[in-house]
Amino acid sequence: MTLKQVLGRARDVLATNSIEDASLEGEILLRQALGIDRVRLYANLKSELSAEQENEFWHLVQRRLSGEPAAYIAGHREFYGLDFLVDRRVLIPRPETELLVEKAIRLAQTHAMATVADIGTGCGAIAISLALNLPRIKIYASDVATDALEVARINCEKHGVAGRIQLLPGDMLAPLPEPVDLILANLPYVTEQEVSTSVLAGFEPLVALNGGSDGLDGIRRLGEQAADKLNPQGGMLLEIGWGQGQAVTNLLRRNFPSASLEIIPDLQGIERVISLRLTPG
């Protein structure tokens, strides 16, 4: 069977089993089985797979059909045009989180900013993306899970920013050594009930998924701690889930009554990011 034929068959099998982006996922799994990049794959579509290669590929497809994410099977995931090591120690970076990075870069370009903190950094995708795009800014990246910080450390070294990102073990804002100009956080915002029925809960770390009964436990705690960790006229960018915009705005308003707050939708029009800016007085 040729690479082209096996890709077509895998696409049909994955799609039949309700796997989204079946063509892309089949490609990712075939590249992993063969140990080649995308260019080599499409340059050799007429090549025949050996029996061993075909067996390995269908083994990976079966893992995907069991619910294991393709990013864990492949061991990496692209985010903001960069490639990151990922495994079961960390949450898989989502495309929608790129909006958080985009907004942070724009803020840094229009406001005086020297320090940024990425809370719950996981694999380090947000912090590293910022470090590469904002080379003059000091970046802190914290996570309560030390094994997640080990993945972040590997990714920092991979992208040449290990000397510019300070990885901090600890809960929320507690490990920050100083107030910062901008706090970013993609904290768990999935409710306990949603987590209990999610296939991903069997693979991704629960601590990175479970946001409590209303999905807002982490955001609530962050809001309560942030006043002492933000410089005057500093700000926060928080990723939120569908329909959480008003609830999060209300939570933040209690702790920052005079702050400027904005709900920012993603490209699908879903409320995705809350922007908070402290104002004088």
The full set of domains in the chain, from first to last, is: 3-74 (1.10.8.10), 89-277 (3.40.50.150)
Q: How many C-beta atoms surround the C-beta of residue 48 within 10 A? A: 12
Please name the helix (run of DSSP H) or strand (run of DSSP E) that holds residue 109, with its range, or none.
helix 98-110
Q: DSSP label at 170?
A: S
- 31, 80, 107, 130 from 116: Cα distances, Å: 36, 18, 11, 9
How much of the chain, in percent, has pLDDT values that exceed 90?
Answer: 85
SS3 19: coil
pTM: 0.92
Confidence of residue 280 (pLDDT cuts 50, 70, 90): low
pLDDT tens digit sequence for 25-64: 999 999 999 999 999 999 999 999 999 999 999 999 999 9
| CA distance linking residue 26 with residue 61, whole number of Å | 8
Q: DSSP label at 54?
A: H
pLDDT beyond 60 at 72: yes
Q: What is the pLDDT of residue 208?
A: 82
pLDDT tens digit sequence for 123-164: 999 999 999 999 999 999 999 999 999 999 999 999 999 999
Phi (first) and psi of residue 49, to 5 degrees = -85, 145
Q: What is the pLDDT of residue 201?
A: 58
Where do the DSSP E strands lie in 170-242? 180-185, 230-239
Neighbouring C-alpha atoms within 13 Å toward the C-beta of 124: 35
